């Protein structure tokens, strides 16, 4: 495949029709949610540069209040706010590049609301994974988790599932996105498994080096559940609603059949014994049936 055949390098479509006809990089057109995410993350990073200077013994004030920690697991706002803080320039630059390059086609496919829900859910799952592993290994004093990486790795997995034709630059080489995802997540899983093994053998501090990968894998797992489990869940929910409607319709038919059988019995009694032999309940049942029949006739004539 030549350079000009690649999807990220294309000729200006206006060329030959009053356009320039020049070859340009085919960058994705970002949607509303991607633009907002980029602006909010950059704004938060500037605010961190001004206010979030780490002290000698720990993180800065913003990271301490808004980052995810095992000790503050019950503070639910952290699972949202930590996704908009970053540790340094390259941290935010790479994450925002992923949001822009891969989040844009995902938003275009799913729509703004679904994409935003997906992104924040994957990020929140990353924070939850960090808290759970911290609680398991009794390390509440770990530094707060910050960064959009959980959501970004969720986007990577979703795009690998939905857009297998995409290519990522991996160690300066363009490779299929599914291969890149397999290498990334496979390497993370091996590192985490190795660190867990060392921690179980008596060195819990060994988990420290793998904590970010635990969070990344948490975001990827949430993405997998969303992408592959979501359609199955929606299908099951649709089937359940249909069964409920069918059940309600069958109950209504049985009720109407029972009511009609009762009216037939009352009419037979009138024929055999006369109307004066009806009980009060039978008279009310006959009046109700007559009223319902009139209402149905009026609705038909409207």
Residue 246 belongs to some domain of the structure:
no
Q: Which residue has the higher pLDDT, 83 or 275?
A: 83
Percent of the chain's residues with pLDDT above 70? 81
Is the domain of 259 the same as that of 237? no
- Residue 71 CA to residue 12 CA, distance in Å, equals 54
Statement to judge: residues 272 and 221 lie in one domain:
no
Q: How far apart are CA 269 and CA 174, in angstroms?
A: 87
User: Domain for residue 19, yes or no?
Assistant: no
Do 284 and 233 reside in the same domain of the chain?
A: no
Are 47 and 122 in the same domain?
yes
Predicted pLDDT of residue 83: 97
Asked whether residue 290 is assigned to any structural domain, the reply reads: yes
Q: Is residue 114 a part of any domain in this protein?
A: yes
206 and 291 in a single domain? The answer is no
Residues 168 and 264 grouped into a single domain: no
User: Is 277 found in the same domain as 199?
Assistant: no
For residues 275 and 184, state if they share a domain. no
Of 11-25, 127-141, 210-224, 271-285, the least confident: 11-25
* pLDDT tens per residue across span 109-165: 999 999 999 999 999 999 999 998 888 876 555 678 999 999 999 999 999 999 999
Q: Which of 20-29, 100-109, 211-220 has the lowest mean pLDDT?
A: 20-29
Residues 138 and 275 in one domain: no
232 pLDDT higher than 70: yes
Most confident of 42-56, 111-125, 244-258: 111-125
Per-residue pLDDT of 93-110, as tens digits, reads: 999 999 999 999 999 999
Please indicate, yes or no, if residue 142 is contained in any of the structural domains. Answer: yes
Question: Average pLDDT, whole number, for the chain?
Answer: 81
Q: Where on the phi/psi map is residue 202: left (φ > 0), alpha (ψ -120 to 50), or beta?
A: left
73 occurs within a structural domain: yes
Q: Kindly compute the dihedral angle of the four CA atoms of residues 134, 137, 142, 144, in this order, to the nearest 10 degrees.
A: 0
* Token pair recorded at residue 238: 């649709």
Structural domain including 197 reads 31-241
Q: Are residues 211 and 291 in the same domain?
A: no
185 and 257 inside one domain: no
């Amino acid at each position: 495949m030549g350079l000009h055949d690649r999807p990220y390098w294309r000729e200006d479509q206006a060329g030959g029709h009053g356009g320039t006809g020049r070859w340009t990089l085919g960058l994705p057109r970002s949607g509303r949610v991607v633009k907002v995410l980029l602006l909010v993350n950059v704004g938060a990073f500037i605010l961190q540069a001004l206010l979030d200077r780490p002290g000698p013994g720990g993180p800065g004030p913003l990271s301490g209040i808004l980052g995810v920690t095992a000790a503050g697991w019950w503070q639910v706002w952290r699972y949202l706010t930590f996704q908009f803080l970053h540790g340094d320039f390259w941290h935010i630059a790479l994450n925002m590049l992923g949001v822009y390059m891969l989040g844009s086609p995902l938003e275009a496919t799913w729509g703004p609301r679904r994409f935003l829900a997906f992104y924040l859910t994957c990020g929140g799952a990353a924070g939850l994974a960090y808290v759970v592993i911290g609680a398991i290994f009794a390390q509440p004093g770990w530094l707060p988790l910050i960064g959009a990486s959980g959501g970004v790795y969720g986007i990577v997995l979703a795009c690998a599932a939905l857009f297998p034709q995409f290519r990522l630059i991996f160690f300066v080489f363009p490779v299929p996105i599914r291969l890149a995802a397999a290498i990334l997540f496979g390497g993370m899983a091996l590192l985490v498994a190795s660190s867990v093994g060392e921690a179980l053998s008596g060195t819990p501090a060994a988990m420290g080096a793998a904590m970010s990968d635990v969070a990344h894998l948490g975001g990827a797992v949430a993405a997998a559940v969303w992408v592959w489990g979501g359609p199955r869940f929606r299908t099951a929910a649709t089937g359940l609603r249909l069964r409920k409607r069918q059940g309600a319709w069958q109950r209504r038919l049985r009720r109407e059949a029972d009511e009609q059988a009762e009216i037939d019995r009352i009419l037979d009694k009138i024929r055999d014994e006369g109307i004066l032999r009806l009980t009060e309940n039978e008279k009310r049942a006959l009046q109700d049936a007559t009223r319902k029949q009139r209402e149905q006739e009026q609705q038909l004539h409207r």
